[in-house]
A = this chain, B = another copy of it.
C-alpha cells in the first residue's frame, strides 16, 4: 500500500504544503519513509463542515444501516491485516503478534458495536402512552430515544495504534451512535493512520454514506487538534493520552462559547491491594501475575498496576517477604524492551529517577535499560504508607514497566491510603473470600475511586464487553460517568430526544406503536422485549 502523507478530507486528499513530519523507528530513532503534511486551517474547517453536512444524512441512518457500515470497516481491516500490522510494527516497535491481536480486538469491537446498534441496545426507547381522561390535565403521548450528538473529533492514541486510534474505540462508538468523525492522527504512527483511514474512507464510499462521515487530519504539532476542538461544528471529543494533554482539551472545550463534552482517558496508577490472607496463601503466585501485568506491553497500558498496597501484619510477614523477594527477582530479570517513542522512553527514565531520589523510597529492582532511545528495563520501588501519604508526587503515573509497593500495617491503613488516592480506571483486591466479605468498606471505598474492581486478578486486559467500564473519576478520565470500552461507550455520543403527541407515521420507526424494529422498549415504566401492551 502506497502512502502519500496527506490528510483525508471526506473523499478527497488534503493538500501538501503544511509543516511536515515523519514516522520514527523507535528502536533507533531513525525516520521512516514518507513525509506527512500538517492539515491547514482551511482543511480543518472543510472537514468539520463536511462532517456537519454528512450528519444531516448519516445522523438519520437506521441502526441496521450503521451496523452494515461498521461491519464493512471491520471486513476491510481484516482483509488488509498485513499492510496495517506491517506498518504499525515499523512505527511503534510493538511486536507483530501483539499488533495482530490488537487488530483482532479492533475489528471485533467494530462488529460488537454494530451488533449493539442493530439490536437496539444503544437506542434506549421509552414510551409513555397518553391518557386523555387524566385530571386535572390530559396526559400527553411521550416517546423518547437516544440520538447522535453530531460531528465528533477523535484523537488517536500512541499506545494502542489500532484499537484506540483511527479505527479504534472512540471512532467505532461515535460512528455507531450516528456521529460523523474527524480523526486527528497521532504523529507516532502516521503511516498506520493513513492506511486505516484510507480503508474507512473506502467503507464510507462503498456503504453510500456521505463523504464527510469520516476525515483524517495530520498534525506535526498541536494546532490542528486545538482548532478542531474549538470548531463550533464539532459536538464532542474523544481522546486517550496524557493527563496534561487531556486536561488541555477539557479546558479548551469548557471555554468554548458553547461548551462540549470531552471524553479523555488520561492517567491511572491502578492500585492493587493485597490482604494478609491472600499473601499467606498465594504470595509467589501473586508476585508472578503482578510482574506479568506490570511489564505487559513494556508497561504502556493505561491499566498497568503502578501501586501495590501490601498488608504486612505480624502474621503475614512470611507471605509479604516471599511476595517481595519473588517480585524483585522477576523485575530484576526482566529483559529490556522497546517503548513507543523516544519521548516516552525519556519520560520513563525521568519518572524512575524522580522516584529513586524520593526520600524513604527504596529501589528493590532495576533491570538494565538496553541500548537505544526507547529501550527500557523494569523497575520496582518500595516505601511505607506514612511516606507515601506524605508525598503526593508518589501518586503520579510512571508510564512504563515500573511499580511501587507500599507497605501497610493493616487493612485500616490500606483503607486510609485508598481514601487519599485520586480517581483510577481500576482497583484490584487480592484477598481470601472471608477477607473480602469482612472488608466491604474497603471494597466500597475502592469503588468510589475506580471504574472497575478486579478480584484476585490483574487489571491489564480490558475486555470489550457490555458490562465493561473503562473509565473512572478524574483524573483517570475527564468524565467518570463514561466508559471508553464496551458497548456503553456508544452512549457518550448520544442524547435523549422526546417526541410529544406525534402521529405514528411521522415517528422514527423505533418509536412507532407496532415496533417495526423489534427493539426492547420501556413502556409505561415496564420493560417490554418487543411491543408495548
Closest beta carbon of chain B to A456's beta carbon, Å: 7
> Is A7 part of the binding interface, using a Cβ–Cβ cutoff of 8 Å?
no
Residues in A409-443 with C-beta less than 8 Å from chain B: 422-423, 433, 436-437, 440-441, 443
CB distance from A483 to the nearest CB of B (A): 6
Question: A467 CA to B447 CA in the complex, in Å?
Answer: 30
For A127-147 the 0/1 string (1 means CB < 8 A from B) is 110000000110110111001
Per the bound structure, the CA–CA distance linking A358 and B422 in Å amounts to: 53
Cβ–Cβ contact B121 & A468, under 8 A: no
Q: How far is the CA of A119 from the CA of B437 in the complex (A)?
A: 26
Quick one: closest B residue to A148, CB to CB? Answer: B448
Output the least CB separation between A444 and chain B (Å).
6
- A108 in the interface (beta carbon within 8 A): no
A423 touches B150 (CB 8 A): no
Contact B250 A474 (CB under 8 A): no
Are B496 and A444 in contact, CB atoms less than 8 angstroms apart?
Answer: no
* Stretch of A71-79, A186-194, A501-509 on the interface side: A501-509
- The A443-470 residues at the B interface (CB cut-off 8 A) are 443-444, 447-448, 450-457, 461, 463, 465-469
Among A196-204, A254-262, A287-295, the one that faces the other chain is A254-262
> A471 to B499, Cβ gap below 8 A?
no
With A261-B479, A465-B128, A483-B496 already in contact, the answer to whether A455 and B142 are too (CB < 8 A) is no
Minimum CB distance partner of A472 in chain B? B495
Query: Do A453 and B498 form a contact, CB below 8 Å, given A142-B467, A503-B436, A506-B436?
Result: yes
**A520 touches B (CB below 8 Å):** yes
Set of chain B residues within 8 Å of A500, measured between Cβ atoms: 452-455, 457
Query: Which residues in B have their C-beta under 8 angstroms from that of A466?
Result: 126, 128, 522, 524-525
Q: Which residue of B lies closest to A140 (CB)?
A: B463
CB of A59 closer than 8 Å to a CB of B? yes
Q: How far is the CA of A500 from the CA of B451 in the complex (A)?
A: 11
List B contacts of A277 (CB < 8 A): none
Could you tell me if B254 and A250 are in contact, using CB atoms closer than 8 angstroms?
yes
- Scoring A59, A258, A259, A475 by chain B CB atoms within 10 A of each residue's CB, the highest score goes to A259
Give the residues from 116 to 170 in chain A that come closer than 8 angstroms, CB to CB, to chain B.
Answer: 116, 119, 121, 126-128, 136-137, 139-140, 142-144, 147, 149-150
B259 touches A474 (CB 8 A): yes
Contact B480 A495 (CB under 8 A): yes
Q: A127 — nearest CB in chain B belongs to which residue? A: B467
Report Cα–Cα, A451/B495, bound state, in Å: 8
CB contacts (< 8 Å) of A101 on chain B: these are: 136
A509 to chain B, nearest CB (A): 12
CB distance from A198 to the nearest CB of B (A): 29
**What chain B residues lie within 8 Å of A525 (beta carbons)?**
115-116, 119, 121, 466, 487
CA distance A255 to B143 in the complex (A): 37
In the complex, chain B residues whose CB is within 8 Å of the CB of A444: 56, 59-60
Closest Cβ neighbor of A480 among chain B residues: B495
A206 contact set on B, CB distance < 8 A: none
- Is the beta-carbon distance between A433 and B505 smaller than 8 angstroms? yes
Residues of B within 8 A of A226 (CB): none
On chain B, the residues within 8 Å of A423 by CB distance are: 258
**Interface membership of A171, Cβ < 8 A:** no
Output the least CB separation between A131 and chain B (Å): 10
Which residue of A126, A455, A467, A505 has the most chain B CB atoms within 10 A of its CB atom? A467
28 pairs, A vs B, C-beta closer than 8 Å: A126-B488, A128-B467, A140-B461, A142-B465, A144-B467, A144-B469, A147-B447, A149-B481, A150-B448, A251-B254, A258-B422, A258-B475, A259-B474, A261-B481, A436-B506, A451-B495, A452-B499, A453-B500, A455-B499, A455-B500, A455-B501, A467-B498, A468-B498, A471-B495, A481-B494, A481-B495, A481-B496, A529-B529
Given A56-B441, A437-B505, A482-B495, 14 more pairs with CB closer than 8 A: A59-B444, A254-B259, A258-B473, A259-B478, A433-B505, A443-B506, A451-B496, A452-B499, A453-B500, A455-B500, A455-B506, A469-B498, A527-B527, A529-B529
A interface residues, Cβ below 8 angstroms from B = 55-56, 59-60, 101, 115-116, 119, 121, 126-128, 136-137, 139-140, 142-144, 147, 149-150, 250-251, 254-255, 258-259, 261, 422-423, 433, 436-437, 440-441, 443-444, 447-448, 450-457, 461, 463, 465-469, 471, 473-475, 478-483, 487-488, 494-503, 505-506, 520, 522, 524-525, 527, 529
